[in-house]
Each structure stands twice: as structure tokens, then as C-alpha cells.
């Protein structure tokens, strides 16, 4: 039985994609509901992470909406579950500073997300560079062991483990708990490797909110009918076999994994159900209908959740999370001699 803390956060820059939903949000909800009788589960909004990209006035509304998404996905709030905003718990920023002083320029410069988002430009803001350290602080403050994230965040999890190990080694005792290695994280999420939902038009790439082409991504706010059309126009191949082979058939494999995750069915089982089918039209129609049905239900559930309900969950969660974070921060401050 899992008793260790489970934790995740999703940045709220604009609307979320189906990739965010299937790669992190839904696994977090399913794992929290499964284990929160024994394990603590922290669901938080990394609002300080959100401001590394353009500030356009939508943050406050998006923040409430992202919590509604967790609730609409079925998150059950028990006494072991804390929902909170990162910026409401100043220990996150303070621990980031301390961890900065244990991190090397070289290792942080190697982060793929930094390379992609900063694009190697001198004009990239320092927040883009430093955001993995803030992420490490988010995790280490709560002794989180399981961190459901998509595959693109695995490198940051490894960095978190390295920082924690280095800190513990220098201090000479285990101040921080290490999250488990990424292979074990994937296993915990019930997948072989990390989850990566692909771009519908360029399935070699991940589905990303920052991709300009609307046809490439499904947003959780998409009109269900429009989302179905995007699935119908997704890039496939000319192999004429519905099977899971991400290397040779990334488009078809991506649609298979979308179907499996939404239905909460093992990928192998879903793929087996389509074995022998050579017409992609029939298969795409089934995926399109599944996505459409999911969006209709999901959006109706989101609309039923009030801002008040979300704010009250946040205020309760922030009280609980602050206590844990402050205790850990104090231990760290003492360890480095600040207290």
C-alpha cells in the first residue's frame, strides 16, 4: 500500500491541452483517489511558474479553472488531500533560493525545456532558466515521493533527485526525501515509459499549448464537435494496420493511447480490440467520438463547479500545506546555518 506523498502541479498559462489532462491531471486524480486513505496527496497550482511566460491578465481566472478541472476529473477531497496555490506559501520561493546555491549552471543549462522555451536567446528571462529549481522546491518541501508528470518533465525530476542527494550529502544527513526515479514513476502511473500525448499533425512532437496550429492540439475548452474534426484530420501513415508502434506509426499509436487513457483501459487491450483493422476511417471515427463524448461530459461538470467552492478548497489546503512547508523550510534553514 502506497503511504508516501503524491504531488503534482500544472502551469496555468492559457487553456490546458488534452496532453496536460491525460499526461498529468487525470493520472494524479486517479492515483489520489486510489491512495489518499493512506497517503497524502498535494495538488497545487504553480502560479509562480506561470509568470515565466507572458503576463496577459488571464492568470487569476485560469487558476480557478485549473482547480475546477481536477474536480471535474473526479478528484475527491479527503483530509489527506491538499489543494493550494504555490505563491500563497512563501516557503516555495525561499527554498528555491537555497537550492539555487546547490545547483550548477551546467546541469540547469542542460534542461531541454529551458533550451526549448529560452531558445538559447540572451533575452530569455532568468525565470525560464531557474524554473526547474522552483519545481524541485515544490517537490522537496513536502517529501513527495511520487510525482505524476508527463515524460517531458522527467528530466526535471532527475534534477530534483540530484539536488536533494547533493544537499543531503553536503549536510551529512537526510534532510530531503528523494522522489523515486523516473522508471518507477512511470510504473506508478501504470505505464511502461512516461506519458507523451503527441501533436496531431506532427506526431513526432509532443502536443503543446504553445503550438500555433490549432489542428495540432485539443484544448479542454474546444467545442466537442471541433475536437472530433481535429481527430479525423490527424496525421496517420500508409501502413494500414491499427497497432501500437510509436516508432513507425506515431500518429496511429497516439490515437490508440488517447483512447486507452480516456477509457481507463490498458493500452494492450485497446490495441488488441483493433487488431486486423486496416481502415483508418473507422478507427479515427471511434477515437473522435470518444474525445467528443469526453469533452461534452467534462465541460458540463466544469460548468457546475462554483468559484466559491474552489476558493474554499484552496484556503483549507493552504492552511494544511503551509504547516508542512514551513516545518521543512525551518529544517533546511537550520541545516545551512540560517537559523
Rounded CA-CA distance 163/184 in Å is 18
Q: How far is CA 66 from the centre of its chain?
A: 12
Q: Which three cell numbers stand for residue 241?
A: 494496420
Residue in the shown chain whose Cβ atom is closest to ligand TYM: 23
Given the residues 151, 209, 229, 320, select the one marked as catalytic: 209
Crossing angle (nearest 10°) for helices 307-336 and 154-171? 40
Active site residue 230: no
Residues in contact with ligand TYM, shown as a per-residue x/- string from 47 to 86 under the rule CB under 6 A:
--x-------------------------------------
Nearer Cβ to ligand TYM (196/259): 196
Q: What share of the chain is helix, strand, coil (3-state, %, to 5)?
A: 55, 5, 35
Stretch that binds ligand TYM, among 62-70, 149-157, 279-287, 299-307 (CB under 6 A): 149-157
130 binds ligand TYM (CB under 6 A): no
Binding mask 205-244 for ligand TYM (x = CB under 6 A): -xx-------------------------------------
CA distances from 80 to 30, 42, 91, 141, 269 (A): 15, 8, 20, 16, 33
Q: Which stretch binds ligand TYM (CB under 6 A): 15-23, 58-66, 185-193, 298-306?
A: 15-23
Contact (CB, 8 A) for 259 and 270:
yes
Asked whether 49 and 12 are in contact (CB, 8 A), the reply is no
209 in catalytic set: yes
The grid coordinates of residue 332 equal: 533546511
Q: 6 forms bridges with which residues in the sheet? A: 41, 146
* Closest approach of ligand TYM to the CB of residue 147, in Å: 5
Minimum distance from residue 22 beta carbon to ligand TYM (Å): 6
Q: Which of 329, 306, 325 is nearest to 317 (CA)?
A: 325
**CB–CB of 27/148 below 8 Å?**
yes
Query: What is residue 197's DSSP assignment?
Result: P
Residues in contact with ligand TYM, shown as a per-residue x/- string from 167 to 206 under the rule CB under 6 A: ----------------------------xxx--------x
> Does position 20 bind ligand TYM by CB under 6 A?
yes
Instruction: At 146, give phi and psi (nearest 5°).
Output: -110, 125
Element (H, E) at 9: strand 5-9
Question: In the complex, what is the shortest distance from the CB of residue 139 to ligand TYM, in angstroms, rounded to a whole number?
Answer: 5
Q: Pick from 47, 94, 130, 138 the residue near ligand TYM by CB under 6 A.
A: 138
Q: Which of 147, 163, 200, 218 binds ligand TYM (CB under 6 A)?
A: 147
Q: Is 85 helix (H, G, I), strand (E, B) or coil?
A: strand
Does the annotation mark 117 as catalytic?
yes
| 11 binds ligand TYM, rule: CB under 6 A | yes
Among 23, 250, 251, 317, binds ligand TYM (CB under 6 A): 23
Nearest CB to ligand TYM, comparing residues 5 and 153: 153
Give how many residues touch ligand TYM by CB under 6 A: 24
**Comparison of 152 and 318: residue with beta carbon closer to ligand TYM:** 152
Residue with cell 486517479: 30
Residue closer to ligand TYM by CB (options 24, 99) is 24
Map the footprint of ligand TYM across residues 242-301, applying CB under 6 A: none
Whether the CB-CB separation of 10 and 20 falls below 8 Å is answered with yes
Integer Rg of the chain from CA: 20
Residues involved in catalysis: 117, 206, 209
Interface contacts to ligand TYM, rule CB under 6 A = 7-11, 19-20, 23-24, 46, 49, 135, 138-139, 147, 149-150, 152-153, 195-197, 206-207
Amino acid at each position: 500500500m502506497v503511504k508516501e506523498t503524491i504531488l503534482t502541479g500544472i502551469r496555468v498559462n492559457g487553456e490546458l491541452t488534452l496532453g496536460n489532462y491525460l499526461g498529468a491531471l487525470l493520472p494524479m486524480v486517479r492515483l489520489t483517489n486510489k491512495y489518499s486513505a493512506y497517503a497524502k496527496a498535494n495538488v497545487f497550482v504553480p502560479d509562480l511558474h506561470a509568470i515565466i511566460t507572458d503576463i496577459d491578465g488571464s492568470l487569476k481566472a485560469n487558476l480557478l479553472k485549473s482547480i475546477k478541472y481536477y474536480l471535474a476529473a473526479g478528484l475527491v477531497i479527503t483530509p489527506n488531500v491538499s489543494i493550494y496555490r504555490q505563491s500563497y506559501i512563501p516557503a516555495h520561493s525561499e527554498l528555491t533560493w537555497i537550492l539555487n546555491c546547490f545547483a550548477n549552471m551546467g546541469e540547469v543549462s542542460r534542461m531541454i525545456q529551458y533550451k526549448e522555451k529560452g531558445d538559447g536567446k540572451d533575452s530569455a528571462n532568468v525565470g525560464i532558466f531557474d524554473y526547474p529549481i522552483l519545481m524541485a522546491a515544490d517537490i522537496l518541501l513536502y517529501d513527495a515521493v511520487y510525482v505524476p508528470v508527463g515524460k517531458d518533465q522527467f528530466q526535471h525530476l532527475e534534477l530534483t533527485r540530484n539536488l536533494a542527494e547533493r544537499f543531503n550529502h553536503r549536510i551529512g544527513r537526510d534532510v530531503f526525501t528523494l522522489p523515486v526515479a523516473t522508471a518507477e514513476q512511470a510504473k506508478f502511473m501504470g505505464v511502461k515509459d512516461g506519458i507523451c500525448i503527441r501533436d496531431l499533425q506532427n506526431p513526432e512532437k509532443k502536443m503543446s499549448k504553445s503550438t500555433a496550429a490549432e489542428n495540432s492540439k485539443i484544448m479542454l475548452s474546444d467545442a466537442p464537435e471541433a475536437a472530433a474534426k481535429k481527430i479525423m484530420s490527424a496525421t496517420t501513415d500508409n501502413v494500414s494496420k491499427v497497432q501500437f508502434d510509436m516508432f513507425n506509426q506515431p500518429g496511429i499509436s497516439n490515437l490508440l493511447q488517447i483512447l486507452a487513457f480516456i477509457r481507463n483501459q490498458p493500452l494492450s487491450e485497446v490495441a488488441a480490440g483493433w487488431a486486423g483493422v486496416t481502415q483508418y476511417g473507422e478507427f479515427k471515427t471511434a477515437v473522435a467520438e470518444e474525445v467528443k463524448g469526453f469533452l461534452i461530459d467534462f465541460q458540463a461538470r466544469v460548468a457546475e463547479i462554483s468559484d466559491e467552492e474552489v476558493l474554499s478548497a484552496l484556503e483549507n489546503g493552504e492552511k494544511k500545506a503551509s504547516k508542512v512547508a514551513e516545518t521543512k523550510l525551518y529544517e533546511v534553514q537550520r541545516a545551512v546555518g540560517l537559523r
